[in-house]
Amino acid sequence: MNDAPPLLPLLYDDVVRRALVEDLGRAGDVTTDAVVPPDRTARALVVTRAAGRIAGLEPALFAFRLLDPGCRLEVCLRDGSDAEAGAVVARVEATARALLAGERTALNLLGHLSGIATATRDVVARLRGLETHVVDTRKTTPGLRALEKHAVRAGGGSSHRYGLDDAVLIKDNHVVLAGGIAEAVRRVRGRVGHMVKVEVEVETLEQLDEALGAGADAVLLDNMDLPTLREAARRARGRAVTEASGGIRPENVRGVAETGVDLVSLGWLTHSAPALDVALDVTDRS
């Protein structure tokens, strides 16, 4: 289980607020407003309808806090926990209005992020016994990058760079525009600070040698076949971190990892993992 502290609310409060506003629109929850007395309170359970790995529970519950600052929230399964189908993830006590108006926003967040965590967990499980780590990418859903990378970590994966600014990744186009890998690395080293790592994307073993010669901290081995990957991992060992990337899915991930690369990265984790089925059961409506 992931024992890191939960995300600071400052990192996600605007996301949750925007999601609520998106759902409430101009007139708010007209159904509930018409049907439910304003001061009625209720209790509810956040539950899973399928087995999976939990992620995003704190941001999900934050929806209820924004609607009812006096609500009571109890976390039963923290991010990074595994849940059976039917497990109770959290307990909520709030005004009935807040419960019903916040339900969909909370579940959309929790289901989406737990889906990513679950998919990551399953990929990680396929690598049991190997030392290869599972890494995310920048192929995330617009507006949700920090939360989705958090979900990958909750699933046992590890984070690649967060954006274009916190690490260097020299790709094909950069190499062409710079006139070679060595020149691209040289320009980058002359500009970025001492705390920034440099990774180079390579497609052939020749490019790999050039990147290693230029002192890359890491190399992204793009769409190589397994024998080439194996040779690349061998050559780079002790000189640079190796990351296999391109077309990796749960089905083929173990084969890739067995080549000896340090990392496998999967955009699939964040752009295509299905949501986990979660629900809100109102238990006390009296």
Of 204 and 223, which CB lies nearer to a second copy in the complex structure? Answer: 223
Of 73 and 178, which CB lies nearer to a second copy in the complex structure? Answer: 178
Q: Is 197 among the residues known to form the active site? A: no
Of 83-91, 189-197, 228-236, 253-261, the window that binds a second copy (rule: CB under 8 A) is: 189-197
Q: Is 171 among the residues known to form the active site? A: yes
User: Does 140 help bind a second copy (rule: CB under 8 A)?
Assistant: yes
The residue type found at 202 is V
Of 86-94, 146-154, 206-214, 227-235, the window that binds a second copy (rule: CB under 8 A) is: 146-154
Query: Whole-angstrom Cα distance, residue 79 to residue 77?
Result: 7
Phi-psi region of 242 (alpha: psi -120 to 50; beta: other; left: phi over 0): beta
User: Does 65 help bind a second copy (rule: CB under 8 A)?
Assistant: no
User: Does 196 help bind a second copy (rule: CB under 8 A)?
Assistant: yes
Query: Whole-angstrom Cα distance, residue 48 to residue 284?
Result: 19
The site map against a second copy for 77-116 (x = CB under 8 A) is: -------------------xx--xx--xx-xxx-xx--x-
User: Does 19 help bind a second copy (rule: CB under 8 A)?
Assistant: yes
Task: Check 17, 43, 126, 139 and give the catalytic one.
Answer: 139
How many residues form the binding site for a second copy (CB under 8 A)?
103
Of 6 and 228, which CB lies nearer to a second copy in the complex structure? Answer: 6
User: Does 20 help bind a second copy (rule: CB under 8 A)?
Assistant: yes
Q: Is 139 among the residues known to form the active site? A: yes
User: Does 76 help bind a second copy (rule: CB under 8 A)?
Assistant: no
Dihedrals phi, psi of 165, to nearest 5 degrees? -110, -15
Task: Check 222, 231, 258, 277 and give the catalytic one.
Answer: 222
Q: Find the distance separating the first CA and the last CA of the chain, reported in whole Å.
A: 37
167 near 216, Cβ under 8 Å?
no
User: Does 129 help bind a second copy (rule: CB under 8 A)?
Assistant: no
Q: How far is the CB of 80 from a second copy (least distance, A)?
A: 12
Q: Is 284 among the residues known to form the active site? A: no
User: Does 130 help bind a second copy (rule: CB under 8 A)?
Assistant: no
From residue 199, how far is each of 37, 100, 160, 219 by CA, in Å?
59, 47, 11, 5
Query: Whole-angstrom Cα distance, residue 269 to residue 112?
Result: 11
Of 31-39, 83-91, 207-215, 253-261, the window that binds a second copy (rule: CB under 8 A) is: 31-39
User: Does 244 help bind a second copy (rule: CB under 8 A)?
Assistant: no
User: Does 21 help bind a second copy (rule: CB under 8 A)?
Assistant: yes
Cα Rg of the chain (Å, integer): 22
From residue 68, how far is each of 98, 244, 246, 268 by CA, in Å?
6, 46, 45, 36
Contacts for 278 with CB less than 8 Å, ≥ 6 apart = 46, 47, 48, 49, 89, 107, 110, 111, 114
Q: Is 136 among the residues known to form the active site? A: no
Nearest to 203 by CA among 188, 185, 187, 225: 225
Contact with a second copy (CB under 8 A): which of 125, 166, 204, 252? 166
Nearest to 125 by CA among 225, 254, 252, 16: 254
Q: Hey, which residues are catalytic here?
A: 104, 139, 171, 201, 222
